[in-house]
Amino acid sequence: MLTSETKQDISPLGSPGSKIDLTFKRRIAEICGENVMSCYQCGECTAGCPAAFSMDIAPNQVMRMAQLGMKDEVLESSSIWLCAGCETCATRCPRGVALSKVMDACRQLAVKEGKHIKQPNVLKFHKEFLRQVTWHGRAHEIGLMGIYKVRSRDLFSDVFSGIQMFLKGKLGLIPSRVKGLAEVRGLFKK
Amino acid sequence: MKYAYFPGCSLESTGKEFNESTRLVAEDLGIELIEIPDWNCCGATSAHSLDHKLSIALPARNLGIAESMGLDVIAPCAACYNRMRGAEVEMKENADLRDRINSDLEKPYTGKIGVKSALEVFTFPEVLEKVAEKTSRKLPGLKPACYYGCLLIRPPKVLGFDDPENPKSLDTAMEMVGAEPVEWYFKNECCGASFGIAKSDMVVKLVGDIISNAKKHGANCIVTACPLCMTNLEMRQAAVGKLRGEDLTMPIFYFTELLGLAMESQGVKKCFASHLVDVNPALDAIGREQAVLVES
């Protein structure tokens, strides 16, 4: 069972050795268009978040830390990788901030800036998924699961369900391939 | 009624019953579905997590092809629908991004067509009327917990469909075919979605909460409109039942399968054979002959 990680003692001055970066909130806004300064800490996002129980920094804390420029703490947290993108926070925020988009922006910044990724398997999964799309133009579920398992060294979980699905004809071995693959690959360029 | 049909990757694979039942029901209701030729993946959670422009560009290619067909898009999968609708809205609002993406597309998207989910189309009042008309065998005794999940109803600013906190469309559809949907608390809670593989322990907890609440409120099955919800709810129920020491066995259906069952759509029972969890207890409750379990 997933248990909450030890809550860090977060002081308003940040953790030792980390720097305050006051441009952090602007970077977030440039990427996703959300203004973290609108947040007034009501806690609605954390109350409704299905993943908050497993996060090291609660969603409302991510917002507050972004306001304060605690970039390293946010980008190196588990939380940004444990957001499931369910949009509950964005639906309920009384200030109209889509925290789900802020999480997206933080993930992108963490990868771009080569930060320590606290949930490497989640990133591996996303990268593998997108690699599938560059190969075939579509996600090939059995290939995705197989390669992800090798890369994450998690070989034996869910094998039974996988076999069951395969026997029920749900996991085709041959990926269907998009004809306009060159066009799809072209969309991956920045 | 005629739509450009976007099955998406899951419906080709783990969610194939959703694909089959959607096509069958559409045919019976006189809704013509023309598959978008050479469609590509919508990018799902992975694209928007790592690359914003890509998460708009991938669906935009499909929207461009659909626009050249002159048809609105119907996307049954909740994630595909959410990403495609998000791309539709952003391409309409953000001219700069639209131009950048369109310059890479053979068939540009200019906003002439829009995206709907299968749930939205099949619960149009005029379509539901037709469902009622064609329902030859109602489903009394079926007490579904209608499960909307996340991406069919959120964020409301983008999707503009149903109520994000107390959605009703699925319940209305189920009432239309004589089922008795239960009132419960988890209709719009997340199942963990794409964490099914990479963070399965999170999904186990969330699925446990959802099924446990449905059972507590007297449901004898859960009805969904999303292939990821289906996979998570089916795949994780045994593990979480063991963990909690309660019986969390629960048949899960796609809503299109139940519409098909009520309208006696030819071949809908084939869909039940590829479920991971036995649906017969729910079929027994409505006094239906058992589904054949060993066939492909």
Q: What are the chain A neighbours of B188 within 8 Å (beta carbons)? A: 88
Please compute the mean of the pLDDT values over residues B217-223 and round it to a whole number.
98
What pLDDT, on the 0 to 100 scale, is given for residue B244? 95
pLDDT in tens, chain A (190 residues): 344 444 445 555 556 667 899 999 999 999 999 999 999 999 999 999 999 999 999 999 999 999 999 999 999 999 999 999 999 999 999 999 999 999 999 999 999 999 999 999 999 999 999 999 999 999 988 888 888 888 888 877 888 888 888 888 888 888 889 999 999 999 998 7
Q: What is the pLDDT of residue B296?
A: 34
pTM over 0.85: yes
Q: What is the count of residue pairs from A and B with beta carbons less than 8 Å apart? A: 174
Under DSSP, the state recorded for A21 is: -
B61 contact residues in A (CB cutoff 8 A): 180, 183-184, 187
DSSP 8-state symbol, A150: H
Which pLDDT band, with edges at 50, 70 and 90, does B122 fall under?
very high
Q: Which residue of B has its CA nearest to A139?
A: B9
Return d(Cα A175, Cα A156) in angstroms, integer.
23
Confidence grade of residue B12 (pLDDT, cut at 50, 70, 90): very high
Measured between alpha carbons, how far is B52 from B39 in angstroms, rounded to an integer? 20
Mutant choice from A91, A111, A189 vs B, greatest count of B C-beta within 10 A: A91
Q: Is the pLDDT of residue B267 over 70?
A: yes
Chain B positions in Cβ-Cβ contact with residue A108 (cut-off 8 Å): 49-52
> pLDDT, tens digit, for every residue of B76-113?
999 999 999 999 999 999 999 999 999 999 999 999 99
Amino acid at B127: V
pLDDT band at B289, cuts 50/70/90? low
Best of B12, B36, B49 to mutate (most A CBs within 10 Å, chain A): B49
Nearest Cβ partner of A82 from B150, B157, B199? Answer: B199
Q: pLDDT digit string (tens) for B17-70?
A: 999 999 999 999 999 999 999 999 999 999 999 999 999 999 999 999 999 999
Query: How high is the pLDDT of residue B84?
Result: 98
* pLDDT at A101 (0 to 100): 97
Q: Do B164 and A91 touch (CB under 8 A)?
A: yes
**Distance to chain A for B245, nearest Cα, Å:** 14
Asked if B47 and A145 come within 8 Å (Cβ–Cβ), the reply is no
Predicted confidence band of residue B216 (pLDDT cuts 50, 70, 90): very high
A88 close to B165: Cβ distance less than 8 angstroms: no
Enclosing H/E stretch for A48: helix A44-48
Three-state SS across chain B?
A: CEEEECCCHHHHCCCHHHHHHHHHHHHHCCCEEEECCCCCCCCHHHHHHHCHHHHHHHHHHHHHHHHHHCCCEEECCHHHHHHHHHHHHHHHHCHHHHHHHHCCCCCCCCCCCCEEEHHHHHCCHHHHHHHHHHCCCCCCCCCEEECCCCCCCCCHHHHCCCCCCCCCHHHHHHHHCCCCCCCCCCCCCCCCCCHHHHCHHHHHHHHHHHHHHHHHCCCCEEEECCHHHHHHHHHHHHHHHHHHCCCCCCCEEEHHHHHHHHCCCCCCHHHHHCCCCCCHHHHHHCCCCCCCCCCC
Q: At residue B291, does pLDDT exceed 70?
A: no
How is chain A split among helix, strand and coil, in percent rounded to 5? 55, 0, 45
- CA-closest candidate to residue B136, choices B261, B39, B31, B282: B261
Contacts of B156 in chain A (CB under 8 A): 91
Residues on chain B touching A105 (C-beta within 8 angstroms): 52
Element containing residue A103 per DSSP (H, E): helix A99-112
